[in-house]
Amino acid sequence: MASFDGTPGFELIYVVVNYGIASKILHKAKEHGISGGTIFFGRGTVNNSLLKFLSLYDERKEIVLMGTDSHTAHDALVELNKEFHFEKANHGIVFTTGICDIIGSKHQKFEENAQERGVDKPMYQIIITIVNRGMAEEVIEAAEAAGSKGGTIVNARGSGIHETSKLFNMDIEPEKEMVMIISKEEVTQAIVTSIRQKLEVDKPGNGIIFIQDVKNAYGIYE
């Protein structure tokens, strides 16, 4: 992706792997032009009796978030897949979503090519729901009732008593949980509606939901 003036677009790379692999992911990504990233800890929720959707099971997971330009992201994903074989079951999943800017880096803002917006309709989307601690399982239940095969729960916490974690410049207080669900585009709205109704997200303080289109992906199993 690039704008008319040739400035590359930005992408956020998500990598979900088994516990203990994230540092290796960051090291390998650095070899291919990505300066750094953030590691979150979570757990998968897919039951073994279900299809190996996302290769996620009820075990400890690490989620790596890395931001870079689209060209670097594409090349890095290819190399990461060669190294970690995401096409194999239970080896994890990696995918990218578009972002408009990276604050605090050498990159500058860009205007997305209008011709590229909406041309390639996404096959998958990621639904991220942030709720009060203890409510994540209800998010998963609501999502599964609408056709989801599972997701990843992240227990967010700050590194100090007065600190909070941040995601996309939003504070995630220590008592919050974040649920990441990947869905096919045609069932996303049904899943979001189910979560919204069950968790009463429209009421102040009950949570927040946002959706991103998945661009490049390795390791998605149905």
Predicted local distance difference test score (pLDDT) of residue 178: 87
| pLDDT band at residue 166 under the 50/70/90 scheme | low
Integer Cα distance of 205 and 128 in angstroms: 16
Residue 40: is its pLDDT beyond 70? yes
What type of residue sits at position 163? E
More confident residue, 221 or 167: 221
More confident residue, 35 or 17: 17
- CATH number corresponding to 10-102: 3.30.70.120
Token pair of 83 as six digits: 């190294």
More confident residue, 171 or 97: 97
Q: What share of the chain is helix, strand, coil (3-state, %, to 5)?
A: 25, 30, 45
Q: Where does CATH 3.30.70.120 sit in the chain?
A: 10-102, 124-213
Residue 46: is its pLDDT beyond 80? no
Q: What is the pLDDT of residues 51-64, one digit of tens each?
A: 334 444 446 888 88
Token pair of 41 as six digits: 């800890």
Matching CATH number, 124-213, of 3.90.550.10, 3.30.70.120, 3.40.50.300, 3.30.420.40: 3.30.70.120
